[in-house]
Structure 1
Amino acid sequence: MSESFPRLHARTRRFTLGVPRGFTIAPDGSRILFLRTKGGSDAVTCLWEFDVASGRERLVVDPRTLDADEENLPPEERARRERSREQAGGIVGYSTDSAVTTAAFALSGALYVADLRTGDTRRLATPGPVIDPRLSPTGGHVGYVTGGAFHVQDLDGGPGDGAGRALATPEAPEVTYGLAEFVAAEEMGRMRGYWWSPSGDAVLVERADESPVRTWFIADPANPDRPATEQRYPAAGTPNAVVELFVLGLDGSRVPVPFTDEYLVTARWDAHDLLIVTMSRDQRSMSLFRVDPATGATALVRRDTDDAWVEVVTGVPGHLSDGTLVWVADADGGRRLIIGDAPVTPPTLQVRDVLDVEGDAVLFRASGGDPAEIALWAYRDGGITLVSPAESGVYNGRTAGGTLLVTAQTLGSEGTTVQVSHHGAPRGHISSHAERPGLDLRVSLIRAGERELSTAVILPSGHVPGSARLPVLMDPYGGPHAQRVLAASGAFLTSQWFADQGFAVVVADGRGTPGRGPAFERAILHDLATPVLEDQVDALHAVAAQYPDDLDLSRVGIRGWSFGGYLAALAVLRRPDVFHAAVAGAPVTDWRLYDTCYTERYLGHPDEGHYDASSLFGDAGKLDRPLLLIHGLADDNVVAAHTLRLSSALLAEGRQHSVLPLSGVTHMTPQEVVAENLLLLQVDFLKRSLGITEDLG
């Protein structure tokens, strides 16, 4: 008997295991370092190398040979993996020197260094569990964090270096050196807290003091003998961690780098400059500064402002070979690549991120007329060219030394393909070992309603158009910074499985989602409820008009997780005339309970009065549709208090609902049995709630 999709989906960590990732190309383009598990159900990530000339792969480091204990990760490493939504174990991150001859990584808190030429791997003695080891560009030293202190170790075993020396030691338990604070990792995409100088003789290090941040307690009610986990959580309107920067020299020098903004967005230290990017608390101003490492003095390079918010884009700042600045900013209605002071992309091409800056070329991703498509582009000599294939899809890539790596996901093919070329000549591909989902995808991408919302319609694989009107399941995320509608088959695997249980599934990206330009994203300013819910309703009705004989609007369910969970609960509370049942997983129910950086970007400070309109609590008395609330009790991002407080409000109003608490489960729900049964329980709940008694699957 073949394995069920829910079991396979859980065992393969949503089909992410076995997919190559984390690519680093050697400067001469001869080799590509990458991460991958050995199989589609193997959760141990190994370090590999691809030889560009021969097209052959080589296993560099298998963690199984290093006797690692993944069950006893340092708490800081568990937090980093949660922030990065890491699904696997083993070597989940690594760094190299600039020549890509040596790699450093942490494994179960131990520090390892691998010689990429010979494959020899050695463990280095450290005073405690290691977080985020990074090699200096010259390869002579490795930096890391342990016990909140920033350490540097001489790989040549210099006199007196021993197990490394601390360049900065925390003055209090709430202080760390070299680690990104919570909101930087969760909301700004910055997972690091230190940056090496090009010569390797100094490091720019973040000092984060969390003492002003309020302490929350994440308890495990299923195990009352265990103490609650204390967490510093910066809820909206409350203090953030105090972040400072210092240039630490290997000679023991310490130079402060002052800045006045609330947030450190990122930093970049290359042969041209040391640059830092900061952002104001209200996120309407972002500043780029040049720093003198010797004195800490800063000089403003540019400042971007916006009446709503400025957008953080990864991959910038950077420099061309002559020192010209590479930047991304909103201008003339579009998110544009800026070279020097001039935009070089049209406003109709929405830049997603910058991937590599090499010499006078910039590799970046962008969406044109269709936000479901993300293409790979290159800037060179004042012009831009399409790098990825013309086929509609979602593309990513890296480039160095004439070698171009392109990853591709399309609707017409399963999984991810990785193609490698050198100076335009194909050099083979890096294999994916991911499992095949075994589904027959029936996905149609359309533009729905007056706002031409990017929408996917997924029908059961055996459905004959017009043969039966199917109950409908809306399956959105619907919020900022994330899309559900992409020209990639992997985006719809779970939706197709739900469709095969007898539903017509509709997935719509409404206002606030990326890829359609700044104005579309900013339509949710000060209101996270009304526009996103209106767009789900509009998309549903537009799809029903296009498929009049296939959708039954008298039986409409909605499911979602995180912001999607919030949207699902919102739907049955405010539009019970449209939505007849909802499954809300890990929903934000009161935005005052969510973090500063995300929430204040869209709703401002709580004192400004925009929170109640987006809260679910005021609608508790309106519930008259079946609602299933699901929440992991170990969730440290959207804490379980969101669901528990909404449940209390519903109970106070005498409104029937269901709550499914998940003991020991975080926001990611990585546990196999939990992930499998969650899908089965949702289907059962939706069928019962919508009055579906016959076997539709």
Structure 2
Amino acid sequence: MSSPVDESVSFPRLQARSLRFTLGVPRNLTVSPDGSRVFFVRTPDGSTRTGSLWAYDADSGEETCVVDASALLGAEGEQLSPEERARRERSRESAAGIVAYAMDEACEIATFALSGKVWVSRTRSAGARALPTAGSAIDPRVDPTGRRIAYATDGALRVIGVDGTLDYPIAEPDGDHVVWGLAEFVAAEEMDRHRGYWWAPDGESLLVERYDESPVATWYVADPAEPSKPPVEHRYPAAGTADALVSLWHVRLDGSRTEITWDHGRFPYLTRVSWTPHGDPLIQVMSRDQKDAAVLAVELESGETTLVRGQSDEVWVDVMQGVPAYAPGGRLVTLEDHGDTKTLFVDGEPVSPPELQIRSVVSLGAEGAIVTASEDPTQIHLHAIGYDGEDYPLSEGPGVWSGTERGGTAVRIRAGMESPFPTVTVMRGGSTVGNIASHPLHPGIHPEVRFLEAGEDAIRTAVLFPSGHEHGNAAGLPILMNPYGGPHAQRVMRSAKPYLEAQWIADQGFCVVVADGRGTPGRGRAWDRAIRDDFAGVTLDDQVVALETVADTYGADVDTSRVGIMGWSYGGYLSALAVLRRPDVFHAAVAGAPVTEWRLYDTFYTERYLGNPGEQPEVYDANSLLTAIDPDVDLPPLMIVHGMVDDNVVVAHTLRLSSALLAAGKPHTVLPLTGVTHMTPQEVVAENLAQLQVDFLRRALRA
């Protein structure tokens, strides 16, 4: 149940205070092997950022707080090391307290990090204790047997008993820029791989990543608002430059180790690691151009690898969640393109229905896999796909579904349009036990979304008018496009919460349009790859098509002579591009943290879509904002917003664009955010930033 509406607080402040209304909502769910308990993280309410570990009894429906993180932290609160801050930045984690935890196979032992300490909890009784570890700990993980905990610190990987005895290193840095047991920058930022080590099923050894950043260029991230502080050195692998050198080692508890061998020259990227009881460890490695990948089985004693599945694509190979992996019985499970459909493969054969776009593998059982999948790209459902190809839908009703299942207990999470908050239902033996409680802040508004399919490509488009809008009763509202519009992220989904901010903006006197053009996920291989070498052309064209469809559909309700666009990150790039390339269509823009020159963005992401700048510089020039400035055309009002200590899209992007605009005599506005990274979790900053952006657009568009 959400908390009552506080009408004295603005929506932007509520959104910032609640971390976009995620606080108070259960997350990170784990079902015990016997299905009796469901563990999860939840903050006590919708404005407190400190998460605690909870357990839900799947028989009685009762909740118990296993670990109260606030009690452990005391009055001082949480203190994070620079390494942990960087790790959370990569995963876009703004909450505090227990944000992640790891458990043994039986779910009897849980471990997590707080203020750099490793804590351990025996989950049958409340409470936890800190272990006497060395250094500031990152990513502690208990072994499957519940005897030992590994953790990363100061570039080393260490192991300690769950009773606090025998804390010792099993791998230590052997160079100034060598790190063991953590994911390198591009893995965490772009591959969605946030781990750097994996326990053996028997708890007697580990697979451990070693990366060496010495070949990677050093950049310096400084906060000009703090001139007494030195710049922070940051190894950043920009497109066309050297990546970190990554290797994988089988490390035994006595510290002896064997390197896992593969052709690093051909496959420099380590994208996935899986180690289940059903076969040898599996790794997926990938070529620099991402057109070839190999699934390799690891022979632990020798470190040699054997090819079990080759993967290739003339454009790029996708890195998917939950695969590759061995299922019970030793079946090899992968997700691969089959025609224009992302398909579940078992031992090299496609088994899932051709109408389902499989998005991820949730779990693998004896009879089949539980997956997330879409027929309509605006919805995600849960399916059980048998290894014989039978499809069993597990979710009913429109929305975005997720969940997990184990030991006869299923957790179903549904986000729909009727409420901004998900429903988390626990089912035991096929019968509903109850819902895990949520305690979010109430936003005070509810999105009123109209869905369209724009143009010949049926671009999924969401349209929001001011609350209570009746067609024909408002003359010519200005239109505000609000895209992300690039790879990896969808905005147009049948889930209410993502539209809360768009509804608030609409209520300020706009028709807000959100469109997912080509390149956004969930619509198959051809759709994904249409953007190869052409961010600027394809993604901008699709926003124009969506705009034209809205104008045709709503006629006099909208005014196409007053069109603005605003977005963040790729959406910021798209917003600045719109007023530079198409000032005939777009009359004002707010560009947040935009990539303005793709040579300054990282290797794995940028080269996947635009190739290597050393091999096709003309592609980078064509997609750069710096070359999109026409000195003979007036620039519509443009505000560029950037966090000064952003280490992902560095502020140099905005500074270079601003300099080029100034050199061309183009007036524009730059809003620097001191002390802010790629995220803006600070409550007052986020509130004022939202209001400043809307006020800028209202003035520019005469709203």
Q: TM-score, normalised by structure 2?
A: 0.96
Instruction: Please show how residues 588-667 of structure 1 align to structure 2 within 5 Å.
Output: 588-607=595-614, 608-609=616-617, 610-620=619-629, 621=631, 622-667=633-678
1:41 to 44, 47, 52: 47
For residue 483 of structure 2, what is the aligned residue in structure 1?
Answer: 476
For residue 306 of structure 2, what is the aligned residue in structure 1?
Answer: 299
2:213 equivalent to 1:206: no
Write out per-residue CA displacement over residues 88-114 of structure 1, whole angstroms, 9 at most, x where no aligned residue: 100011100000000000001011000
2:364 equivalent to 1:357: yes
Q: Which amino acid aligns with 1:405?
A: V
Contact 2:141 2:149 survives alignment (8 Å): yes
Deviation at 1:361, TM superposition (A): 2.6
Instruction: Please show how residues 210-229 of structure 1 align to structure 2 within 5 Å.
Output: 210-229=213-232
Q: Which amino acid aligns with 1:173?
A: D
**Match of 1:251, SS?**
coil
Write out per-residue CA displacement over residues 270-329 of structure 1, whole angstroms, 9 at most, x where no aligned residue: 112211111110000111000011110100001110011000101112222211111101
2:270 to 258, 264, 269: 264
2:686 equivalent to 1:683: no
In 1: Cα distance, 2:244 partner to 2:257 partner: 21
Deviation at 1:385, TM superposition (A): 3.5
In 2: Cα distance, 1:492 partner to 1:451 partner: 23
Instruction: Please show how residues 280-359 of structure 1 align to structure 2 within 5 Å.
Output: 280-359=287-366
1:90 to 92, 97, 111: 97
For residue 4 of structure 2, what is the aligned residue in structure 1?
Answer: none
2:69 equivalent to 1:58: no
Q: Which amino acid aligns with 2:516?
A: D
2:400 equivalent to 1:394: yes
Deviation at 1:380, TM superposition (A): 2.4
Deviation at 1:462, TM superposition (A): 2.7
Q: Which amino acid aligns with 1:73?
A: L
Write out per-residue CA displacement over residues 314-373 of structure 1, whole angstroms, 9 at most, x where no aligned residue: 1112222211111101111110011122111133311111111122231110111x2111
Instruction: Please show how residues 348-497 of structure 1 align to structure 2 within 5 Å.
Output: 348-368=355-375, 370-380=376-386, 382-467=388-473, 468-497=475-504
2:248 equivalent to 1:237: no
User: Which has the higher mean CA deviation after the structures are superposed, 458-467 or 656-665?
Assistant: 458-467
**Match of 1:606, SS?**
coil
Contact 1:219 1:634 survives alignment (8 Å): yes
Q: Which amino acid aligns with 1:204?
A: L
In 2: Cα distance, 1:539 partner to 1:129 partner: 49
Q: Which amino acid aligns with 1:445?
A: F
For residue 104 of structure 1, what is the aligned residue in structure 2?
Answer: 111
Q: Which amino acid aligns with 1:660?
A: L
Deviation at 1:184, TM superposition (A): 0.1
**Match of 2:195, SS?**
coil
For residue 570 of structure 1, what is the aligned residue in structure 2?
Answer: 577
2:139 equivalent to 1:136: no
In 2: Cα distance, 1:294 partner to 1:623 partner: 67
In 1: Cα distance, 2:543 partner to 2:69 partner: 46
Question: Where has structure 1 moved over 6 Å in runs of 4 or more?
Answer: none
In 2: Cα distance, 1:588 partner to 1:518 partner: 25
Contact 1:145 1:178 survives alignment (8 Å): yes
Give percent identity, aligned residues only.
54
In 1: Cα distance, 2:318 partner to 2:299 partner: 26
User: Which has the higher mean CA deviation after the structures are superposed, 218-227 or 459-468?
Assistant: 459-468
Pair 57,472 (structure 1): closer, same or farther in 2 beyond 3 Å = same
In 1: Cα distance, 2:304 partner to 2:387 partner: 33
**Match of 1:455, SS?**
strand
2:187 equivalent to 1:180: no
Q: Which amino acid aligns with 2:236?
A: Y
In 2: Cα distance, 1:113 partner to 1:384 partner: 42
User: Which has the higher mean CA deviation after the structures are superposed, 606-615 or 94-103?
Assistant: 606-615
In 2: Cα distance, 1:75 partner to 1:31 partner: 35
In 1: Cα distance, 2:409 partner to 2:536 partner: 46
In 2: Cα distance, 1:351 partner to 1:387 partner: 13
**Match of 2:230, SS?**
coil
For residue 31 of structure 1, what is the aligned residue in structure 2?
Answer: 37
In 2: Cα distance, 1:318 partner to 1:24 partner: 19
Deviation at 1:549, TM superposition (A): 2.1
Contact 2:596 2:626 survives alignment (8 Å): yes
Contact 2:170 2:254 survives alignment (8 Å): no
Write out per-residue CA displacement over residues 96-138 of structure 1, whole angstroms, 9 at most, x where no aligned residue: 0000000000001011000001124111011101000000000
Deviation at 1:623, TM superposition (A): 4.9
Contact 2:592 2:641 survives alignment (8 Å): yes
Deviation at 1:71, TM superposition (A): 5.2
For residue 14 of structure 1, what is the aligned residue in structure 2?
Answer: 20
Contact 1:375 1:386 survives alignment (8 Å): no
In 2: Cα distance, 1:156 partner to 1:360 partner: 38
In 1: Cα distance, 2:516 partner to 2:604 partner: 22
Pair 200,510 (structure 1): closer, same or farther in 2 beyond 3 Å = same
Deviation at 1:446, TM superposition (A): 1.5
Contact 2:343 2:351 survives alignment (8 Å): yes
**Match of 2:535, SS?**
coil
**Match of 1:682, SS?**
helix
Contact 2:489 2:521 survives alignment (8 Å): yes
In 2: Cα distance, 1:385 partner to 1:36 partner: 33
In 2: Cα distance, 1:558 partner to 1:392 partner: 29
Q: Which amino acid aligns with 2:646?
A: D
Contact 2:193 2:271 survives alignment (8 Å): yes
In 2: Cα distance, 1:196 partner to 1:119 partner: 26
Pair 381,306 (structure 1): closer, same or farther in 2 beyond 3 Å = closer
Unpaired runs of 5+ in structure 2? 1-6
**Match of 2:301, SS?**
coil
How many corresponding residue pairs? Answer: 687
